[in-house]
Amino acid sequence: MKTAIFWFRRDLRLEDNKGLHAALLSGKPVQTIFIFDRQILEELPEDDARVTFIYQSLQAIHQNLLSFGSSIRILHGDPLKVWERILATEDVAEVFINRDYEPYAVERDRQIEILLKKQGIALRSYKDQVIFEKDEVLKNDGTPYTVFTPYKRRWIEAMIHNKPSPLDFPSSPSLKPSSHPFPELGEIGFQHSEIQIPPYDLTIAQDYESTRNFPALDATSHLSPHLRFGTVGIRSVLNRLKTENEVFLSELIWREFFMQILSHFPRVVDQNFRRKYDGIQWRNNEMEFSMWCEGLTGYPLVDAGMRQLNSTGFMHNRVRMVCASFLCKHLLVDWRWGEAYFALKLNDYELSSNNGNWQWAAGTGCDAAPYFRIFNPHEQLKKFDKDLKYIQQWVPEYGSPGYNQYIVDHTYARTRALETYKSGIKR
Q: What is the pLDDT of residues 159-180, one digit of tens each?
A: 988 888 999 999 999 999 999 9
Determine the pLDDT at residue 263: 96
35 Cβ neighbours under 8 A, 6+ residues apart: 7, 75, 76, 77, 79, 82
269-424: CATH topology is: DNA Cyclobutane Dipyrimidine Photolyase, subunit A; domain 3 (1.10.579)
203 Cβ neighbours under 8 A, 6+ residues apart: none
- Mean pLDDT, rounded, for 199-208: 91
Mean residue pLDDT of the chain comes to 95
More confident residue, 289 or 218: 289
103 Cβ neighbours under 8 A, 6+ residues apart: 262, 266, 269
Domain ranges of the chain: 1-128, 269-424
Alpha-helix residue ranges (DSSP H) falling in 326-408: 335-345, 351-362, 377-384, 389-394
pLDDT in tens, 343-376: 999 999 999 999 999 999 999 999 877 788 899 9
Determine the pLDDT at residue 370: 79
Determine the pLDDT at residue 6: 98
Global confidence as pTM: 0.95
- Mean pLDDT, rounded, for 18-43: 96
Q: Which CATH superfamily is domain 1-128 in?
A: HUPs (3.40.50.620)
Cα distance between residue 160 and residue 249, in whole Å: 13
Determine the pLDDT at residue 162: 84
Q: Could you give the residue numbers annotated as active site? A: 251, 254, 282, 317, 335, 358
Nearest to 107 by CA among 80, 76, 137: 80
Burial of 16 by CB count in 10 Å (0-12 exposed, 13-18 middle, 19+ buried)? buried
Cα distance between residue 349 and residue 341, in whole Å: 10
- On the question of pLDDT at 241 being above 80, the answer is yes
CATH topology identical between 1-128 and 269-424: no
- On the question of pLDDT at 422 being above 80, the answer is yes
